[in-house]
Structure 1
Amino acid sequence: MSSSTPSYKNHRYPVEVISHCVWLYFRFPLSFREAEEMMLERGVVVSYETIRRWCLKFGQAYANALRRRRPQPGDKWHLDEVFVKIGGVQKYLWRAVDADGNVLDILVQNRRDKAAARRFFRRLLTATGQVPRVVVTDKLRSYGAACREVMPSVEHRSHKGLNNRAENSHQPTRQRERAMKGFRSVGGAQRFLSAFTGISPHFRPYRHLMTAGRYRLEMRVRFTIWNRITGATDMPAAA
């Protein structure tokens, strides 16, 4: 186990069970109780509350390890924001992806004004450690004002039709939001989405562009990477 692998000291269950539960929850639109039921079918008795704690403790660590293995993002970024109800109150989920659709960062904020756009731009620059060549957004004027202030040398393209890549990247989040019956707090939404956007895309290659054989080979590679960063071996089959 490498030094970057999370520590499982004092955990009663083996790493294979822990990593498999975290994978189930972040990869598929499952509740913790449904993940508990799936593990029971495999002969592993673990409570949904234990799975919840594992996801909180290890989800972000796994997501960060997967992000470190990604290539440097492209120099063309797509930004978008959508409405999201949290505890019955309307908030805004800001998202940035590169030209290949890789999520660069997400941020839940109360507003969609210039200050919010500026905060997101600065967070992006810190997270990626680089400045893009082009930023593509919708027609929200806050983007242009913030871009001129934070990244004056960057070309800003504002056009609704050019930003489909960022808008499409919200679809997996919407699917999970419906399965979870909404988010209950801003902090909880931020924590979940930060881990979710690091783990879920790893297991979502562009399947429609691959043959069945190529897809299976790609998924085997991705599962190998997952086992390496979690320190697990393959999950044993049900008895």
Structure 2
Amino acid sequence: MKKAKSIYHGHRFPAAVISQAVRWFFRFQLSLRDIEELLFERGVTVSHESIRRWTDKFGPRFARQVKAARRKPGSTWHLDEMFVKLRGEPYVLWRVVDEHGIELDILLQNRRDQAAAKRFFKRLLAGCLALPKKIVTDQLRSYPAAKTEFPEFANVKHVFVKACARVNNRAENSHQPTRERERRMRGFRLPGRTQVFLSCFGPIRQHFALKRHLLRASLYRKQLAARFDAWRLFTSVTQVPSAVS
């Protein structure tokens, strides 16, 4: 039986180095040059352009595996949208999270109307195996108008919340990491690259971002160690060399 090729076939750097660089980029607010410096400190000389190619190639693959392995989404979904600027042009980032704060999906569009909401609902139906019992949105009229076009959502309860600046709710809080990363990157640029980046950023960041304030230190370390073990499984890394640990 022919042995399957490694996903890292053709790369001269070890799998542990590549997976570490990809994890750092999506987990922390680090630039490509920051990661280049961190790897150089550990004895690995690689250019930031090579790291960019690694994140482009492996980021979506690792994010899909993280999403496939996480627990089933909750029964309440919170949908919301935020405005971002790409080279001065306004875009709308649609996001859905469950009641535990787990990001289920995002979609970047240049409109905020019924057609845009319909595309978002269609994407949710294609990507989620089970429907929620309840969805929570702000009072944007595009949501109920688009929802009526999908028979699958006919029995899903729709709850409206008042939209206002700095409101403390699940949907609004889910935008904070994106805003922080947007500032760190000095803004997003191309719609396609922004969609791909944010689709990877959410799942990979949340895989490691445990709710530390709710856990004892010993339990936090135990759960974090389990997340690292899972990451090595996702990325096909059998051993982590001390040079990049």
State the TM-score bracket (shorter-chain normalisation): over 0.9
Which residue of the other structure, out of 155, 158, 162, is the alignment partner of 1:156? Answer: 158
One-letter identity of the residue aligned with 1:23: R
Q: CA deviation at 1:238?
A: 6.5
Q: CA deviation at 1:206?
A: 0.8
TM-score (norm 1): 0.94
Q: CA deviation at 1:5?
A: 9.6
SS in 2 for 1:53: helix
Structure 2 unaligned spans of 5+: none
Distance 1:214 1:60, change over 3 A: same
SS in 1 for 2:10: coil
2:194 is aligned with 1:192 = no
Distance 1:50 1:215, change over 3 A: same
1:180 aligns with: 185
Count of residues paired in the alignment: 237
Q: CA deviation at 1:6?
A: 6.3
2:41 is aligned with 1:36 = no
1:227 aligns with: 232
* Aligned Cα root-mean-square deviation (Å): 1.9
Q: Distance in 2 between matches of 1:154 and 1:128?
A: 15
One-letter identity of the residue aligned with 1:154: V
Q: CA deviation at 1:146?
A: 1.1
Q: CA deviation at 1:237?
A: 3.5
Q: CA deviation at 1:173?
A: 0.8
Q: Distance in 2 between matches of 1:5 and 1:167?
A: 43
Give CA-to-partner distance per residue, 1:128-182, whole Å, 9 cap, x none. 0222211100111111111122222211101137981111011111111111111
Give CA-to-partner distance per residue, 1:170-212, whole Å, 9 cap, x none. 1111111111111111001001001111201001011110011
Distance 1:163 1:38, change over 3 A: same
Q: Distance in 1 between matches of 2:33 and 2:193?
A: 18
SS in 2 for 1:237: helix
